[in-house]
Amino acid sequence: MHDGQLVGHGQSEGERMNIKDFQVYVRDSLQHIDLMKARHPSLPVFIVGHSMGGAISILTACEKATEVAGVVLIAPMVQMSPDTVTPFKVFMAKMMNHLVPSLPLGSIQSKWVSRDQTKVAAYDLDALNFHGGVRVSFGMQLMAAVARVERELPSIAWPFLLLHGDNDKLCDIRGSRLMFERAPSGDKKLKVYEGAYHALHHDLPEVSESAIEEITSWITERLSAPQQAS
C-alpha cells in the first residue's frame, strides 16, 4: 500500500483527502490483489502497509484471510491517540461533520515524519504529498476505520510483522502493541525502534536499513516455508 496511489492522494483524480467511505481504499486494494493473482496465480500474496495504509492493509487482509501469506505493517494506524480523540473532540467533530464537513483541521507536521532532515525536506517538496489540512469528514472516516480495525483484531490469524518507532507522534505505538497482544495469530512479531519517528523506511540510515532488512528477511523466510493450501 502506498498513499500516493490511494483515492484522494498522489496522482489520483478528484479532490484531495476527500472520500465518502474508507471502504473505497479497501475495495481498491482487494481489486488489485485479484488482478495480481490473475497475472501470477502461483505466487503467494504479501501485503505491506505504512501508516493509514497499515489500516487499509489490515482490513484488506481480513477480507482475504485465506489468500494472504503475510502482512508487514510499518507504523500502522491501529489506534487513535487519546489526546486526539478525547470525548469532547469527538463530540465537536461529529457536530462539525454535520455542519461543515469540508472544514480543514490541522495538517500533518512533517517534522515528525523522519529524524533525517533531508527526508523531511523531500516530503515537503513532493507535490504528490497532501500538505493541506485534514477535513472533518475525512477525520470521521479515519476514526471509523480505526474502530473497524480494533473489532477485527481478535479474528486475525494470518502472519504479520509489526515495525514501529517508540517516538512516533503520528501513529500511536500503543496501537501496534494492542494488535500484537490481541491478535491470536501463531506467527506474529513486533519490532520496536527506540527513538525512531513515523516513517521507519525513511528514518536515519541505521533505522531505515534495519527496517528494510527486517522486512526482507521476514518475507523471505515465509517464501521458503511450505505454503498451506487455502
Nine-digit cell string for 217: 528477511
* Residue of 9, 164, 198, 202 marked active site: 198
Q: Regarding beta strands 45-50 and 188-193, do their DSSP bridges make them parallel or antiparallel, or are they unpaired?
A: unpaired
Q: 8 in the Ramachandran plot: left (φ > 0), alpha (ψ -120 to 50) or beta?
A: left
* Residue of 114, 137, 168, 176 marked active site: 168
> CB burial class (10 A; 0-12, 13-18, 19+) of residue 91?
exposed
198 is catalytic: yes
164 is catalytic: no
The whole-angstrom distance between residue 121's C-alpha and the CA centroid of its chain comes to 22
- Could you write out the DSSP letters of every residue in 76-88? ---S--TTTS-HH
32 is catalytic: no
| Residue numbers annotated as active site | 51, 168, 198
